[in-house]
Amino acid sequence: MKFLKFSMPLAVLLIANIFVFGGVYWNQSGTPTGTIYLNDCGLGQRGGYFLRKHDRFLSLAIVSEPVTVTGLEDPDRAKYGTRERALSSYVLVRQGGPEWDKFVAREKSRLKTLETRSSKLIYTDSSPDLQVLIDRQSSTDGEAILRGSIRKRQNTSEFYPRALTTQISIDSKFRQHFEEIAKLEKARKDKAKDPQSCVPQFEITVNWGRRYDPWISSVSKL
């Protein structure tokens, strides 16, 4: 009985770890479903990313404009997306392009200054139907499909997408690079007179896999 008492929790833990690591392996196997490229100049910028929890996590700062959501033609389904309810959906993120240019133009019209040296990440489309976004994705390079949700702004017909998570774990082999990136950004803030003056020194490649979960595949000096 004592053997069973101690062996059962260990067996449960082992099975759980097999499930988790098996899922990670399956997600990262095969051709990525999407890839975006970040650099050290995008740290702390809208459309870029932030570092969290002592540089152990990277959090994408994707900007959001209203999007058309395929699959919400039914008025009953359109009730989703209020503050109280969100509709599970897939969302498309793109680097740059006309959507980003439109966002920058609108923001500059109401703000005195807007730093645009980021990685230009913006939500551009959404649908509860994954295949719809796969068909609309023009490339897996510079674009990615994420699991997420959409909410409807009250008293409008505008829908805003959100990723299920924008936080990505930083593998221990890359943490020294991110420590250097954080130091570079601090030095720029302390010394640079022009916040836009930034020459990238690192490139960060983020991939999305079969489960549409992200991971950092490489960090390299330029």
DSSP letter string, 70-136? TT--STTGGGTTSSS--EEEEEEEEESSHHHHHHHHHHHHH-S-----S--EEEEEEES-HHHHHHH
Please report whether residue 39 resides in a domain: yes
Domain assignment present for residue 97? The answer is yes
On whether residue 120 sits in a domain, the answer given is yes
| Domain annotation covers residue 24 | no
Q: What is the pLDDT of residue 180?
A: 92
Return the DSSP state at 54.
T
- 96 CB neighbour count, 10 Å cutoff: 14
Whether 69 is in a domain gets the answer: yes
**Whole-number pLDDT of residue 21:** 46
* 12 inside domain: no
- For the entire predicted model, the pTM comes to 0.78
CA distance 212 to 144: 8
Q: What is the pLDDT of residue 79?
A: 53
pLDDT for the residue numbered 121? 93
Residue 71 has a pLDDT of: 60
Q: Residue 3: inside a domain, yes or no?
A: no
Give the range of the structural domain holding residue 197, as residue numbers without chain letter. 32-221
What pLDDT shows up at residue 190? 67
Domain count for the chain: 1
Residue ranges, the chain, pLDDT below 50: 1, 3-4, 11, 13-21, 74-78, 81, 84
- Report helix, strand and coil shares of the chain as percent, to nearest 5: 35, 30, 35
Question: CA-to-CA distance for 213 and 178, rounded, in angstroms?
Answer: 21
**Residue 6 included in any domain:** no
HSE on the CB side for 188, CA within 13 Å?
20
Q: Is 176 exposed, middle or buried (0-12, 13-18, 19+ CB in 10 A)?
A: exposed
